[in-house]
Amino acid sequence: MSRLYLYGVTRPREIAERLVDQGITLVEADGRAAIVSEVEEGPVEATRRNLLAHADVVEQLHEEAVVLPARFGHVLESREEVFELLALPEIERLLQQHEGRCELALKGSYEESVLAEVGAELQPLRDAYRAEPSVEAGIALGEAVGQELAERRARDESLVLDALGPLVLDAVVTEPAGELGAFDLALLVERDRVEPVEARLEELGARLSPPLHFKLVGPLPPYSFVRLGLPAVA
């Protein structure tokens, strides 16, 4: 009996030759389809190749129609389990909810010069550090810079969310990675609103840059907006 790796759930349709050649198939039932491929025994590891393959499959299929991307690592032990999954009312509800929508991943990051800007208010600590660059003085100054930077982050994140306003249906806010990360946002938008979102961000970017830069990725499948409210089963 073959085990099936689950990429996500979509609507039944023809899939690209390229994906068929790579062993991707749709298991269909009642207007819903699981995107799967056969896997060997053993755990599916979070390798670079496997992660990129997963993203490639769900993102390619999402270009044409709604896809609910599965979290990496789901293996179904049989086709019966696939049909069980497809029969869940939550799956149909999410497919309908995400019809015509997509996720945009928006990350903001600062140039190092932001430190000079936020440090401008900290003259006494800077003087103390320059006069005697001890570890203690460095920590005192750096900690104060860190606090100023945290305020700057919060301010810029609000500016972005306010500027996008009702174009964004839902947002998931994550702590930015890295010392100079500004914000990390997952935005749920209608597919036909992607261009207006880009335009607003361009405007805002022109005002805030430097030192703030945006990176926008998408339209992506709704990775951050497909939480299932399922009962926990031991």
Partner 1 sequence: MTRAPRSSGLADVLEILLDRGLVIDAYVRVSLVGIELLTVDLRVVIASVDTYLRFAEAVNRLDLRASDDSRSVPDLFEEGGEELAETKTKGAVEGGMDAIKEKIGLGGRGGDDDDDEERSGSRSRGSGNDR
Contact assessment for residue 168 and residue 189, using Cβ atoms and an 8 Å cutoff: yes
CA-CA-CA-CA dihedral for 90, 94, 173, 204, to nearest 10: -170
Is residue 48 at the binding interface for partner 1, with CB under 8 A as the rule? yes
Can you give the C-alpha Rg of the chain in angstroms? 23
Asked if 5 touches partner 1 (CB under 8 A), the answer is: yes
Are 234 and 119 in contact by the 8 Å Cβ rule? The answer is no
Inter-residue contact 29 to 83 (CB < 8 Å): yes
The residue from 66, 171, 188, 220 that contacts partner 1 (CB under 8 A) is 220
Of the candidate residues 155, 177, 196, 210, the single one contacting partner 1 (CB under 8 A): 177
Q: At closest approach, how far in Å is the CB of 171 from partner 1?
A: 13
Using the contact rule CB under 8 A, the part of the chain among 131-139, 154-162, 163-171 near partner 1 is 131-139
Task: Name the residue nearer to partner 1 (CB basis): 29 or 50.
Answer: 50
Phi, psi of 215, deg, nearest 5: -130, 125
- Cβ atoms of 171 and 103 within 8 Å: the answer is no
Q: Confirm or reject binding of residue 211 to partner 1 (CB under 8 A).
A: no
* Footprint of partner 1 on 148-167 (CB under 8 A): 149
Q: Which CB sits closer to partner 1, 33 or 224?
A: 224
Give the shortest CB-195-to-partner 1 separation in angstroms: 12
